Structure 1
């Protein structure tokens, strides 16, 4: 670090390098930082001199970071994230537990864990503001890495673990099959026969999604046919809307299904099999310490999971004793 500082490394160099990791043109990076392009070009030239190697190469009408440039840009983003976190943490300590917490989550845990945690956090400190981004796991990981989110609830591919992210497993995510409250299958008492499920069109996530792969694999393992899709969507809201407006079956995370079924908007089918998506967990940056407000909500998410698991175990033990 001292060598780079001695050569004149400044904050604006870090900011430009981080911006270039997101933009394909120097002019776009300059616009992101509020700089004129000549000023951005001068900073890029200075970085070249400081590092002793080019930051990027011209690529068509745009640019492409060199291997050294990508490594420097990643480090620059981490440093900027740490400075931002330090500012937030000092401010929160000085004023009590205040500040904005940025959380990402896949849909099921957002309803089942994030909402209760945020509700409790607001009771403990009215100064906390929470921004929640609901997205797929593939989108959440990069958002945590670049500092757009403090932490996220989702799934992390094994090859992501080496890229400045940590993962704390929480639980598997059960899946429910839902239909509109007036659907013929909603009138069946008891469990729906497997054959009856495949007489209808289905609303499923895109075929490359974790949920779709899980469902396809489970049906294949049970010797059941693949569902006949009416439409594919990654939106739980669209799945609920299609299920309510068409004679189709939708597959959604159980917390989502239970939330809307309790309000009489959909009906959850009782089937002769159950399906759960692979475990989700808490994703954080490996090189960062959560600010106090974010740490509070993260701890509340973990506490809610522990209490829920204990409650499920208690009910399971009571059922075993009754038998």
Structure 2
């Protein structure tokens, strides 16, 4: 039986704190005061009889009970959004909106062709595409702000409550501008990496640990000129006017390599290959427009894979 003392504001506040990992940021996002947020969570914890959050240094994190409650609270928020959308969209005679999270590699390589094909379906749906780090996108998916994330498979501990469908695999590449000094035949590339600025994915990104492990296995020590970034726009601009080396998923730079703007350093990065696919909440049913978009993504990925072979 549902305890009638649990109100929508309790669930909304809880989900926002879980997403922001901060009472202060949640208060700002909800446009209410910090004391009001704290009071609302205390009310919810009193009703449930458990602590939903616990201290983690200077920040907070979900307790074991909070993790369990988030699974159902996130589903509740998603269902409510879908209910509101279904009524408002029907009244406006337009399709259900579709919200997609895409890693940079997918945004560049897959989504342009996907959207060109999907728009011809004339579903009337508004499509929102958000690009960012994998951890951020998955958190938005978990709390119902996204319907689907397209990108690399996350670590097992990050996949609780999600389902994953494999589309293809891709490697990490070391790319430079044309005529880069390291392209000269016989160059000891690993030994000379420290001489150049190195752009790497952030340590919290999905390929961050993959890159770290790869470098350690090749005996590469500290990189004194290292820049962590997930911005493909910055990467392209910086390489154009410098001798920097960009360590990035091959999908992000596939077009740049094809037109000769960037060149792949001759390094075997086969063991950085990882699965790319569709991640969804395991407890939700996709709308018809989302199903159509997912099928379009599958067909586009298959077409690209066939072209590559």
Same-fold status (TM-score > 0.5): yes
Q: How does 1:171-190 map to 2 (within 5 A)?
A: 171-184=168-181
Within 1, Cα distance between the matches of 2:190 and 2:65? 55
The corresponding residue for 1:290 is 286
Structure 1 residues 48 and 271: alpha-carbon distance in aligned structure 2, compared to 1, 3 A threshold: closer
2:246 pairs, out of 231, 243, 250, with 250
Shift of the 172–4 alpha-carbon distance from structure 1 to 2, 3 Å rule, reads same
5 Å-filtered alignment, 1:1-323, equals: 2-5=1-4, 8-21=5-18, 22=20, 24-25=22-23, 32-34=29-31, 47=44, 50-52=47-49, 68=65, 71-89=68-86, 98-125=95-122, 127-154=124-151, 155-162=153-160, 164-184=161-181, 192-193=185-186, 195=188, 198-199=191-192, 200-206=195-201, 208=203, 211=207, 213-215=209-211, 217-218=213-214, 225=220, 228=223, 230-235=225-230, 236-262=232-258, 266-269=261-264, 271=266, 273-275=268-270, 276-312=272-308, 315=309
Q: Distance in 1 between matches of 2:295 and 2:126?
A: 16
Pairwise CA distance, 1:260: 2.5
Q: CA RMSD in A?
A: 3.9
More divergent stretch after superposition (56-65 vs 293-302): 56-65
Deviations 1:187-227 (A, max 9, x none): x6xxx545256445252315735545444544665x66558
Residues 268/79 of structure 1: CA separation in 2 closer, same or farther (3 Å cut): same
> Bigger shift: 72-81 or 209-218?
209-218
Stretches of structure 1 lacking an aligned partner (at least 5 in a row) = 316-323
Q: Which runs of 5+ in 2 are unaligned?
A: none
Given the two structures, how large is their TM-score scaled by the length of structure 2?
A: 0.76
If the length of structure 1 is used for normalisation, what is the TM-score? 0.73
Deviations 1:10-36 (A, max 9, x none): 3333223334434644x8756644557
Query: In structure 1, what is the Cα distance between the partners aligned to 2:58 and 2:212?
Result: 43
Number of residues paired by the alignment?
Answer: 302
